[in-house]
Structure 1
């Protein structure tokens, strides 16, 4: 066979050749699915000692079992059935079978059409197939959902016809030092949570200091969920627990806190590293309990002393969002940070505070970035490895005319 030199083809000709080849592949796929359906019909799996045709194909053509099952499912949708009397019945999805035989639909298209037709009446197959001829499988699924909504939008809402919507489910389980969550939410609640998470999970803007956001989508959504927890803790409409709004209590010896060694205990007896306690101590809704040498309580912080609403309003008016250079997070996504750490005697006041988003709040506590207030402006001094001159920087995102003192 002589190898063709595709570089001699014009771009349009090359693309046309690809389209034609794909159509031929789809025709061949359809023929394969018809043969698989015949294997199923004649009981080939049992004849050869396998439980199912999918398991037979797994070994015969070295498919993953998931892939084999997909091919078998598509074959069942497209195949004609023969009754014991010899009568031939039309395929389950005749319009889909005809389009697949022409090479107009791929196996993925067939799966998408079969999926959406589970929620649609038979007369809807033709418009769905016509749409599939012009669009990718994911678009077919979206089209099917929209079509189902339009067809059934006058039907009673879940619960109106005596069929209550499945309840919400949530499980929490500690695995080592991490809490794992599993949730199943009804459509309305899920949509609310998605709407809350989405704006918080946007990639952070690229900055000269940090470059582009390196987090994966899962990491961004995980951090967004943590931000959401912080927002809830700052709410003035929290449920009560033991007669007061929900709070989190951290207990640890003062020396450990000052030296950032050891750990604190939470209400649920879980341990938190001292390096994390400093950041948590800034947050509303967190009560720090510091113990002396004989474990007596030296100081019990109160929510009203941990950046109360009046101070926070002043910080919002002054900083207008996260004060870290280049960050555009708005005030509602920010903590009030003690410039001089609370564990080192820093007071809870406007003159010792700066708004920081969760990411930069953690960064300041864990890294060599220094924060100072200069003429009422939060000013950040970068680590020497980032800037050997350690030139002070400020956030000009919220204040275009602001410069470092």
Structure 2
């Protein structure tokens, strides 16, 4: 299709065309893997004087040796004697799974019985390869009751320095930490700063390392604010005060003002309202404060414990963030009168909490299960989705 013709297509049509092309490419890749498997079966490498088929392909098609080895390994999975995966082979032949999916399925099936293959493939048909690996680990644990032991805690040492300075609307933070404290900080940041799993909805994580670590630091702040025993400030636990007209908040227009005079846009205020302490202030005709209401924490500890038991972590499809990295999100926004209750809440990690507030994704609760309706550009039928990774037992054959 020529460039002018492509420009005439709608975004939905372009995405549908890309999906169709990918399916065709996968079918062609399956045919190619069958041919590679046949080259291995007939001993083509020895016939041509090479060590193995991967070295043949390295020269024949100018692949890096690592890439050539990946293709040979995947071909052996589908056609070779090392591991029989008939359900996977059938899905690949239809163009439903990629080469990376084959590698992921083969990896997890080494730890699972053959009858689990159908459950793994069904999961792979709706998720990216990294999610398949996580699903396989969880399934293996449920089948064999294996778990990792927690690591040893680091000892604590003093002599640290921290400097903070506001520059415009951003706070610049500089720190110098001793070896032990620095190691603990790295241990906290590293898992939070890992690239988000590649998903069909969002693709790969495009953030730079510094951006990922900055977001991880923000996650740590959220974790600290939810912890018990925080220091007091002005006679009460640390509280962020924000002033904004309720009508603007409900309509998602205008700006709120923090107590440090930083302005915050309405959509961000709505997200903060999901898990922040809120103090309602009634303003008079000349914006004079007439009445200050009692502070209420929108999701108290008792409700959060119930959400943790029910949701087990971030409920967005494909996400594996644990409960301690999640906010409680009002399914019906608090600013629109949504109740602060288990029946109107779902756990979401910081990234997906922001996504829900800023995109066309919708959240509903069906029989206590948070269900996500994708935007029309992603799925014209808008078929509801759930985070099946956190409910592995439902997929066991």
Shorter-chain TM-score category?
Answer: 0.5 to 0.7
2:310 to 313, 318, 332: 318
User: Does 1:372 pair with 2:332?
Assistant: no
Deviation (angstroms), 1:172: 1.6
More contact order relative to length (CA 8 Å, sep ≥ 6): 2
* Contact 2:240 2:259 (C-alpha < 8 Å) held by counterparts: yes
Q: For the residues of structure 2 that align with 1:297 and 1:199, how far apart are their CA atoms? A: 46
- Counterpart in the other structure of 1:37: none
Work out whether residues 313 and 348 of structure 2, in 8 Å CA contact, stay in contact via their aligned partners in 1. yes
**Which digits, 9 at most, give the CA deviation of each residue in 1:306-355, with x for residues without a partner?**
10010000000110000000000000000000011010011100000000
2:191 aligned with 1:235, yes or no? no
Three-state SS of the structure 1 residue aligned to 2:324 is: helix
Query: Larger Cα Rg: Structure 1 or Structure 2?
Result: 1
Correspondence for 2:257: 265
Q: CA deviation at 1:198?
A: 1.2
Q: Does 1:287 align with 2:278?
A: yes
Separation in structure 2 between the aligned mates of residue 370 and residue 313 of structure 1, nearest angstrom: 24
Q: 1:280–1:234: structure 2 CA closer, same or farther, 3 Å change rule?
A: same
Does the 8 Å contact 1:324/1:360 carry over to 2?
yes
CA distance in 1, matches of 2:350, 2:244: 23
How much has 1:382 moved relative to structure 2? 0.7
Deviation at 1:298, TM superposition (A): 7.3
CA distance in 2, matches of 1:262, 1:291: 18
Equivalent residue for 2:295, pick from 302, 311, 321:
302
Asked whether the equivalents of residues 339 and 353 of structure 1 are also in contact (C-alpha less than 8 Å), the reply is yes
What TM-score results when the alignment is normalised by the length of structure 1?
0.55
Deviations 1:58-108 (A, max 9, x none): xxxxxxxxxxxxxxxxxxxxxxxxxxxxxxxxxxxxxxxxxxxxxxxxxxx
Deviation of the 1:175 alpha carbon: 2.1
Question: 2:214 — aligned with what?
Answer: 222
The answer to whether the 8 Å contact 1:248/1:266 transfers is yes
Which residue, 329, 349, 357 being the options, matches 2:321? 329
2:379 is aligned to 387
Deviation, structure 1 residue 402: 5.7
Change (3 A) 1:301 1:193: farther
Say if 1:335 and 1:361, in contact at 8 Å, map to a contact too.
yes
- Residues 182/320 of structure 1: CA separation in 2 closer, same or farther (3 Å cut): same
8 Å Cα contact 2:243-2:258 kept in structure 1:
yes
Structure 1 stretches lacking a partner, 5+ long: 1-9, 12-158, 160-164
Q: How does 1:46-61 map to 2 (within 5 A)?
A: none
Post-superposition offset of 1:293: 6.6
Residue aligning to 2:14: none
Unaligned runs of 5+ in 2: 1-49, 52-156
Alpha carbons 2:364, 2:372 under 8 Å: kept: yes
TM-score of the superposition, structure 2-length normalised? 0.57
Counterpart CA distance in 1 for 2:342 and 2:315 is 14
Separation in 1 of the partners of 2:291 and 2:227? 28
Q: What CA distance in whole angstroms lies between the structure 1 residues aligned with 2:350 and 2:294?
A: 21
* 1:254–1:290 CA contact under 8 A, matched in 2: no
**Count of residue pairs brought into register by the alignment:** 239
Give the Cα separation in 1 of the matches to 2:340 and 2:310: 16
Query: Contact between 1:338 and 1:346, CA under 8 Å: does it hold in 2?
Result: yes
